[in-house]
Amino acid sequence: MSGMNRRRITSKELAKLAGVSSATISRAFSPDSRIGSATRDRILAVAREHGYQPNAIARSLNNQRSRLVALVVNAIGNPCEAEEQQLLVHRLQARQLLPIILCCADHSDRLQLMRLASTYQVDHVVVFSDMVSMQDAVDIFHTTKPIIVSFEPLESENVSSIRIDGSKAADEIIEKIVRDGKKRFAYLSGTNSSWIDKLRRKWFADALAKRGLSFEAQAFGDYSYDSGFKEAVLLLHRDKVDAIICGNDVMAIGARDAARRVLGRNTPDDIAIVGQDGIAMAAWDCNDLTTLSLDHTAFIDAVVELIERHDAEIEGPHSITLTCTPRWGSTA
């Protein structure tokens, strides 16, 4: 058992050792199948002795179920996604499902990678990335109904999706900032082309419009601390804004630092800064960020819910909508 047995023992070999047929071996490892309990115990004992475990690859081929799940994500390190990834991975593993992470720097590679994963007959696909269009996902995984975490307003027979609505939370946040006397708002985007970014911006833009205001300036970063820092310097210095809504929490922290270190402005008196995502780090004492936050647990619950519906083969399009809430800190 210990040490290095290069070759793995097969069910046929184990069958010989236990004096039964390989079919009986298989039955011993299938929870509810017709087999004498004495035989099963004997087989399991011999199996343990020789370190036998059924080969999941062969089983998948036969079953037409791999118990693999493809997770398409933008990045692993990004804290906002990471918290959700972590939760989802735990939930999957509790169901004996193994996650394959697909994560790529550039876009054409990403599609290539998705094609590769699709050849592994994954049972489910969860797309967290706004870099992947619904159509691409459906085309590539044409036998596996993908679950899309999406802001796209597209309903399709072949996709289940989770929508996120932050309009009410954005309204509450803008209400507070306006009441505090801020007048010149800027939006700091994470990207210049994603659906997610456009929709998030719209939540806040609508809230401003309701009060006869609009964004005086807009900048584009890349969701990183450094880009938040750099763009905020420009927005404050050149555009003289006194409130910055950021595309995510990490950029908001960068912006807050820029205001404080480069221009000597403090939140929330001189300037208001708002993040989005509600990552754990935003609540750290040193950050204490006001942020439009999503309940990560509810979010992952929704993903798991959709996976279970797929497993139960319930037909038809499925869509779940979640709403965000403000998390109040000392930056706005």
Partner DNA sequence: ATGCATTTTGTACACGATTACACAAATGGC
Partner DNA sequence: GCCATTTGTGTAATCGTGTACAAAATGCAT
Strands 98-103, 124-127: pairing is unpaired
Q: Is 93 in the site for DNA (CB under 7 A)?
A: no
Q: Is 118 in the site for its own copies (CB under 8 A)?
A: yes
Q: Is 102 in the site for its own copies (CB under 8 A)?
A: yes
Q: How many helices (H) and strands (E) are present in the chain, helices listed first? A: 12, 12
Q: Is 51 in the site for DNA (CB under 7 A)?
A: no
Q: Give the separation between CA 280 and CA 275, rounded to whole angstroms.
A: 12
For 163, counting Cβ atoms within 10 Å of its Cβ (0-12 exposed, 13-18 middle, 19+ buried), the class is middle
Q: Is 122 in the site for DNA (CB under 7 A)?
A: no
Residue type, 75: A
Query: What tokens appear for 233 in the block?
Result: 């310097």
Q: Is 61 in the site for DNA (CB under 7 A)?
A: yes
96 binds, among its own copies, DNA, none (CB under 5 to 8 A by kind): its own copies
Q: Give the separation between CA 127 and CA 49, rounded to whole angstroms.
A: 42
Residue 21 CA: distances (Å) to CA of 8, 52, 57:
18, 15, 21
Of 175, 281, 295, 309, which one interacts with its own copies (CB under 8 A)? 281
Question: In this structure, how many other beta carbons lie within 10 angstroms of the beta carbon of residue 155?
Answer: 11
Q: Is 5 in the site for DNA (CB under 7 A)?
A: no
Question: Per-residue b/e over 299-319, b at no fewer than 16 CB within 10 Å?
Answer: bbebbbebbebbeeeeeeebe
Q: Is 135 in the site for DNA (CB under 7 A)?
A: no
22 binds, among its own copies, DNA, none (CB under 5 to 8 A by kind): DNA
143 binds, among its own copies, DNA, none (CB under 5 to 8 A by kind): its own copies
Query: What tokens appear for 197 in the block?
Result: 């970014």
With contacts defined by CB under 8 A, name the span among 40-48, 103-111, 177-185, 307-315 that binds its own copies. 103-111
108 binds, among DNA, its own copies, none (CB under 5 to 8 A by kind): none
Local structure of 108: helix, strand or coil: helix
Q: Is 89 in the site for its own copies (CB under 8 A)?
A: yes
124 binds, among DNA, its own copies, none (CB under 5 to 8 A by kind): none
Strands 146-149, 160-165: pairing is parallel
Q: Is 66 in the site for its own copies (CB under 8 A)?
A: yes
Q: Give the separation between CA 219 and CA 242, rounded to whole angstroms.
A: 14
> Binding residues for its own copies, per CB under 8 A?
1-8, 51, 53-58, 60-61, 66, 68, 75-77, 79, 82-83, 85-86, 89-90, 93, 96, 98-105, 109, 113, 115-121, 135, 138-139, 142-143, 145, 157-158, 225, 229, 253-254, 256-258, 261, 280-281, 284-286
> Binding residues for DNA, per CB under 7 A?
8, 10-12, 19-27, 29-30, 33-39, 52-55, 58-59, 61-64
